[in-house]
Structure 1
Amino acid sequence: MSVQRDASEFRNGSSPVGEAEGQRLDRELAILQSRSLLQSGQLQELADLANFQREALDAAAIVAVTDRAGRITSVNAKFCELSGYSEAELIGANHRILASGAHDRAFFQNLYRTISRGNVWHDVICNRAKCGRLYWVDTTIVPHRDRSGYTAIRFDVTPQKEAEQRLWRLANIDPLTRLANRRRFLELMVTATCKGTPFATAILDIDHFKDINDSAGHHAGDQLLIAVGQALRAELGECDAIGRLGGDEFAVILHDEDGTHLQQRLDGILAALRRKPVAEMDDCTIHASIGAALFPRDGKDAASLLKSADLALYAAKQSGRGCARRFKPSYREAADQRAGLRTAITHAMERNELFILYQPIVNLVGGQPMAFEALLRWRRADGSIQTPATFGEVFEDEQIAAEIGNFVLTEVLGQIDRWKAEGVPFQWIAINATLGDFRARAFVDRIADAVESGRISGEQLCIEITEGMLLDRGARAVREAVDRLNALGVEIAFDDFGTGFASLTHLRQLPINHVKIDRSFIEAICVEGKDRVIVESVIDLAHRLGLKVVAEGVEQAAQARLLRRLECDCIQGFLIAPALTEALATDFVRRDIAC
């Protein structure tokens, strides 16, 4: 029986309920019907809103539902689109199907711990698509209230992540070798020192890299750098770090190294480099020098440790290159002495403590004016006079070497001016050039200005070079300078001939006018032996090549007589005269003329 019928019966008197009661019931019935319609409308609206939100989420986000065991129970179309898997392949599969290997165990332990406690977890995850491509998703995982599983809502942030990675690589990775750059390597050094466990760091420098770069070109130099990086990667362990500090300088961190096997590992690196082929350079063998230091013994922070390794590298280079040296405290003491010496020589130039003496070079044949070699001296504050043998290390600083070279050239050009004005005859004045002189173009430019302006003639000046300058990083600059000086008519002398390894090659390649035989061969020349044979052979070879020969360090008359018999052109040494001041050198020339 319906409510309407019952109410009608009440109104018709078939019920004891009166008309007033029936009207009340009708009103209540109307109210109930209105509320029912309203609630139905609200429920429909809520249902519509839920459907809209679901559709909006599906359109904007990547959604997946898993049970508590991690099995996928539902995915939307965007999930399939991004992952590359079909819905059929995903449903029932474990979520690990997307694992990329980019995250460590601790990352996932934190994730599972959070959601298992009913808390929402949020972070960025790297997943692997079916095709193998990696993609990044900003992920929020919401546990279900009934604890039946989890809903994961993801947004693709791969473009942003890739942009971040590109920026990181630009800031931290050397683009040529793909190794850590200086900034990144220093960060790794700081991290290693903070751990407190022993390790070693080493700095590696390619021997004569600039010569290779200059002679074979920058592309060949790049190939060499790439080969060094590859050899280091292959030789070192996965836990070790490698970086390129800049230029041809590399650095490594050797973890779990207390020094017991350090020398063996360093020698192994050098051997690996020598075996490594270089692309497009079939005849190239990689030679390098290494300096190493131990943490915490040789340095308690990154800066001091690298400084110690750098000092050891300097020692390796001073030992002839191609070797590895471990840091010793004496290296730091020597470095402090060098720094003090550089400061002292700088002050010496400011205080005019440097001066020039002139040692005569006499022609044994006769009939020609004598020549001179300009020799640098330093008058110390205590009155003592030092030769470059005691402060020669300052010439390793090319800026200081160039400043000293500029001073010497100024003095010699002034001396030539004065002797010309006074009518003092001389053949030429020789200057001992350094690598710093030739790398600073001003040295040769000033000589060119003096010759081209007519201030001096080219043959009044002689520039002495050594073989070491031709083997070092500035060989190209030296060769270019020598060619330019030769074109100006300036005499070129090869000093200390015979003490190097490739002297004959340089005689053939360079426009040399004079060969100076080192004093070490002259000392025992009067004794029948190898030195005499060497001197005689050098004189004969030089003459066959059209060169003049100067014997240095002649101190005995017997040496001079023998050299005359061997047809040596000129001699220089204490037998003739020590290094003289300008006034004494002038008197010496005039007395020689008078005789």
Structure 2
Amino acid sequence: MAVLPKTKTVKVNNGCTRRPAFPRSIPYGFHGVWRITGHIKAARRGKELRSQDNIDDLDAECPQASRRRMAIARYNILDSAAERDFDNLTILAAEVFGATFAAISFIDRTRQWFKAKHGLGVAETPIEQSFCAHALKSSGIFLVKDAAHDRIFAANPLVTGDPHIRFYAGMRVLANDGTPIAAICVMDSAPRPEGLTQAERLTLQILASQVESLLELRHALILQKQQVALQRTLSRQLRHMSNHDELTGLPRRNLFREKLDAALADAGQTGRRAAVMTVDVDHFKQINDSFGHDVGDSLLCAFAKRFRAATRSTDTVARLGGDEFGLVIPDIGAGDDLKMLLRSLGERLHKPFKHNGRVINCEASIGVAIYPDHATSADDLIKCSDLALAAAKTSRGCSAIFSSGMAENFDRQARMLDIARAAIATNELIPHYQAKVSLATGRIVGFEALARCQQAGTPPLLPEMFAHAFTDGKLAADISRQMLAQVLDDVRHWVDTGAAFGHVAINRSAADFRSDDFAERLLDAIDSRGLDPAMIELEVTEGVFLGRGNEQVTRALALLNARGVRVALDDFGTGFASLTHLKKFPVDVIKIDRSFVAGVATSPDDATIVRALIGLGKSLGIETVAEGIETVEQASFLRRHGCDLGQGFFYSAPAPAADVPSLIERTLPHYRPAKFPTTRGSLALAC
């Protein structure tokens, strides 16, 4: 009989001892005597537990029972399908031990469940009938030599009835953390008073090690499958994230392009006509600046939902970036189908949006290009659609289908941008000044600065000729900075020469007020030229007072007002006007928009509106300025109803800065103030 060497036992966190897994596998189906080489660490040998030893109920041993159930759950093995490797071990055990029955039993809360069995006709038994439940209590082999004469098992139904177990030998199986979770056992219908030989004990230990190895291999394979499934899920999610916009859930530009390529390929084979649309939310930047990005994001989501609702399931709606959307239509059908779609889109997209009780009017511009009418490649079709969109945006809130003339217009706009950039680089962008007149006296009391591009040897280019430059945010900011610097320099010159120029009004946008140091920077520009801030009038539109950032606007205006800077409200009555703005903010001037002034002599409605605005200004002690006066009838109406100031071609065409003193001289021959006039006039920067 072989004598096993003494080995160290391994302590695990639940106080049990664990034997290291047997390193060598056993060939399944092997018959006869095994020759085993090397040393076997029989850490589980310990004390052999006999059935007569006192054993408490397993579930009474909390938290060990709980740890056992958790360990079994990790292996995900209970009630799993039969597996050949486990079945072969029970067959091998029965043959080696010459036993009638063999099993691998997992001990659950109320039952023992057989993962593999040989000779047994049941899949599980109640835990009260389980021999293996007792084996889990043993650090070695649990042995019952004759169950019929054992005080614990003599009345067990598995002993008194089928399968009439008389002999049992079992070895517990440990999880990888040392928790006993199962047992491998051999059973016989005849008693074995001699028990087991030393070699048989060693064999049963080896078989238990093999069960543990199989469990770990099975667990590793399950984890690997789970990892593969997880990787596939993550891969799908990553593909979806890379192809779909996070905010709206719509496809991104790359997926939009794939759908367009597929649609054009199919249309080329079938002879159908396809179309691509690019859609842009009008005035979206103004909405973001006025109401905040959270409102802008909500608007985009609602916009995307309406867009999808207006299209077919075969169409692809995508968010191309910012406030720009795209639509691929694989088959536009008859000509009326496209018209109906554009009409449906217009109706849905132009409805007001509601956000937290606030109603926001919003429109969209749509550009359309058709395959193969306008282009046959995806790149060219997108370019045509973009050109059509640019044409639609000149009117806002409408749609445009590509035409050849749009390409010429695009080239002209590109030249505008080049002209503006060159003018900034060479200081050719200069202000010209249009007189502002006191309607009561007819005297010039201020000027409005208008941007002109003065290229060498050519007449000045009007703003309309490079207006497209203002659609480029960076370029517009550069123009604004350069114009502001030149106007303030001109004002400094007029002060030095004693010209009576009045107050200076400088246009600023809502975006300027989003900067925390806007007021400080403006005052620094004024102070650096030695100008009195009381000479400056800040001209803003009503959008400055709306939505997010009211605190910044209030702070900036309070600081500027404290230094003597006046505030003029431009285009009053044409936008989001509210009388509360006149009450809440320090407004000194309201400017009556030229759209109302143009009709005062011909439209009763315009005349009524202008009279009301003039009356409102007088009641609140706010100065009124009428823009765009071009006829004597308009001037007479405004003077008769008490408007303070007026400007327009009726009085003066824009003139270079050098001509301003002579214009003032002609209208004020005897007026020579020591510093600057107290008459309320203004010089506005329009750029």
In 2, the alpha carbon distance for the partners of 1:371 and 1:279 equals 42
Matches within 5 A, 1:119-518: 157-195=228-266, 196=268, 197-210=272-285, 213=288, 218-258=293-333, 260=335, 261-273=337-349, 287-321=363-397, 323-365=398-440, 370-433=445-508, 446-451=521-526, 455-466=530-541, 484-485=556-557, 487-489=559-561, 490-497=565-572, 500-503=574-577, 511-518=586-593
Secondary structure class of the residue paired with 2:655: coil
Task: Report the CA distance shift for 1:58/1:449 in structure 2 as closer, same or farther (over 3 A).
Answer: farther
Q: Letter of the aligned partner of 2:379 in structure 1?
A: A
Q: TM-score, normalised by structure 2?
A: 0.56
The aligned counterpart of 2:187 is: none
Deviation at 1:337, TM superposition (A): 0.9
Q: What's the CA shift string for 1:285-335, capped at 9, x where partnerless?
A: 7753332222232332223222322333333333232x4333333333222
Deviation at 1:244, TM superposition (A): 1.9
- My pick for the range that moved more, 255-264 or 454-463, is 454-463
Secondary structure class of the residue paired with 1:311: helix
Deviation at 1:395, TM superposition (A): 1.6
Deviation at 1:403, TM superposition (A): 1.5
Secondary structure class of the residue paired with 1:236: coil
Are the counterparts in 2 of residues 402 and 440 from structure 1 also a CA contact under 8 Å? no
In 2, the alpha carbon distance for the partners of 1:172 and 1:522 equals 52
Whether 1:551 and 2:626 are equivalent positions in the alignment is yes
Are the counterparts in 2 of residues 401 and 434 from structure 1 also a CA contact under 8 Å? no
Q: Letter of the aligned partner of 1:372 in structure 2?
A: F
In 2, the alpha carbon distance for the partners of 1:349 and 1:201 equals 37
Deviation at 1:548, TM superposition (A): 0.8
In 2, the alpha carbon distance for the partners of 1:478 and 1:328 equals 44
Pairs aligned (count): 448
Task: Report the CA distance shift for 1:206/1:348 in structure 2 as closer, same or farther (over 3 A).
Answer: closer
Deviation at 1:178, TM superposition (A): 2.6
Are the counterparts in 2 of residues 364 and 571 from structure 1 also a CA contact under 8 Å? yes
Secondary structure class of the residue paired with 2:653: coil
Are the counterparts in 1 of residues 352 and 360 from structure 2 also a CA contact under 8 Å? no
Deviation at 1:264, TM superposition (A): 0.9
The aligned counterpart of 2:191 is: none
Deviation at 1:557, TM superposition (A): 6.3
Larger RCO, structures 1/2 (Cα 8 Å, 6+ apart)? 2
Deviation at 1:586, TM superposition (A): 1.7
In 1, the alpha carbon distance for the partners of 2:538 and 2:595 equals 21
Task: Report the CA distance shift for 1:330/1:413 in structure 2 as closer, same or farther (over 3 A).
Answer: same
In 2, the alpha carbon distance for the partners of 1:58 and 1:388 equals 90
In 1, the alpha carbon distance for the partners of 2:394 and 2:279 equals 14
Secondary structure class of the residue paired with 1:345: helix
Deviation at 1:583, TM superposition (A): 3.4
* Structure 2: segments with no counterpart, 5+ residues: 1-26, 32-82, 89-223, 672-687
Task: Report the CA distance shift for 1:180/1:239 in structure 2 as closer, same or farther (over 3 A).
Answer: same
In 1, the alpha carbon distance for the partners of 2:432 and 2:463 equals 12
In 2, the alpha carbon distance for the partners of 1:47 and 1:55 equals 12
Deviation at 1:401, TM superposition (A): 1.8
Q: Letter of the aligned partner of 2:480 in structure 1?
A: G
Q: Letter of the aligned partner of 1:362 in structure 2?
A: V
In 2, the alpha carbon distance for the partners of 1:377 and 1:272 equals 41
Secondary structure class of the residue paired with 1:585: helix
Deviation at 1:411, TM superposition (A): 1.2
Matches within 5 A, 1:54-133: 55=84
Are the counterparts in 1 of residues 435 and 444 from structure 2 also a CA contact under 8 Å? no
Q: What's the CA shift string for 1:156-179, capped at 9, x where partnerless?
A: 743332232122223222233332
Secondary structure class of the residue paired with 2:478: helix
Secondary structure class of the residue paired with 1:168: helix
Q: Letter of the aligned partner of 1:484 in structure 2?
A: A
In 2, the alpha carbon distance for the partners of 1:521 and 1:274 equals 25
In 2, the alpha carbon distance for the partners of 1:411 and 1:214 equals 27
Task: Report the CA distance shift for 1:412/1:481 in structure 2 as closer, same or farther (over 3 A).
Answer: farther
Identity, in percent, stands at 34
- My pick for the range that moved more, 207-216 or 306-315, is 207-216
In 2, the alpha carbon distance for the partners of 1:298 and 1:572 equals 47
Secondary structure class of the residue paired with 1:362: strand
Q: Letter of the aligned partner of 1:243 in structure 2?
A: A
In 2, the alpha carbon distance for the partners of 1:180 and 1:441 equals 36
Report the structure, 1 or 2, having the larger helix content. Answer: 1
The aligned counterpart of 2:642 is: 567
Secondary structure class of the residue paired with 1:594: coil
Q: TM-score, normalised by structure 1?
A: 0.63
Deviation at 1:457, TM superposition (A): 2.6
Are the counterparts in 1 of residues 282 and 396 from structure 2 also a CA contact under 8 Å? no
Q: Letter of the aligned partner of 1:330 in structure 2?
A: G
In 2, the alpha carbon distance for the partners of 1:178 and 1:232 equals 12
Q: What's the CA shift string for 1:528-577, capped at 9, x where partnerless?
A: 95554443332112222321122334466676555433222123345554
Q: Letter of the aligned partner of 2:502 in structure 1?
A: Q
Are the counterparts in 2 of residues 357 and 582 from structure 1 also a CA contact under 8 Å? yes
Secondary structure class of the residue paired with 1:245: strand
Q: Letter of the aligned partner of 1:301 in structure 2?
A: S
Task: Report the CA distance shift for 1:189/1:515 in structure 2 as closer, same or farther (over 3 A).
Answer: same
Secondary structure class of the residue paired with 1:386: coil
Q: What's the CA shift string for 1:244-291, capped at 9, x where partnerless?
A: 222333222112115621121132234345679878668567753332
Q: Letter of the aligned partner of 1:309 in structure 2?
A: S
Are the counterparts in 1 of residues 519 and 557 from structure 2 also a CA contact under 8 Å? yes
Task: Report the CA distance shift for 1:216/1:240 in structure 2 as closer, same or farther (over 3 A).
Answer: same
Are the counterparts in 1 of residues 492 and 529 from structure 2 also a CA contact under 8 Å? no
In 1, the alpha carbon distance for the partners of 2:299 and 2:275 equals 25
Deviation at 1:340, TM superposition (A): 0.9
Q: What's the CA shift string for 1:69-121, capped at 9, x where partnerless?
A: xxxxxxxxxxxxxxxxxxxxxxxxxxxxxxxxxxxxxxxxxxxxxxxxxxxxx
Are the counterparts in 2 of residues 519 and 554 from structure 1 also a CA contact under 8 Å? yes
Matches within 5 A, 1:5-44: none
Deviation at 1:433, TM superposition (A): 4.8
Are the counterparts in 1 of residues 247 and 301 from structure 2 also a CA contact under 8 Å? yes
The aligned counterpart of 1:14 is: none
Deviation at 1:223, TM superposition (A): 4.0
In 2, the alpha carbon distance for the partners of 1:314 and 1:581 equals 33
Deviation at 1:339, TM superposition (A): 0.9
Task: Report the CA distance shift for 1:410/1:296 in structure 2 as closer, same or farther (over 3 A).
Answer: same
Q: Letter of the aligned partner of 1:517 in structure 2?
A: I
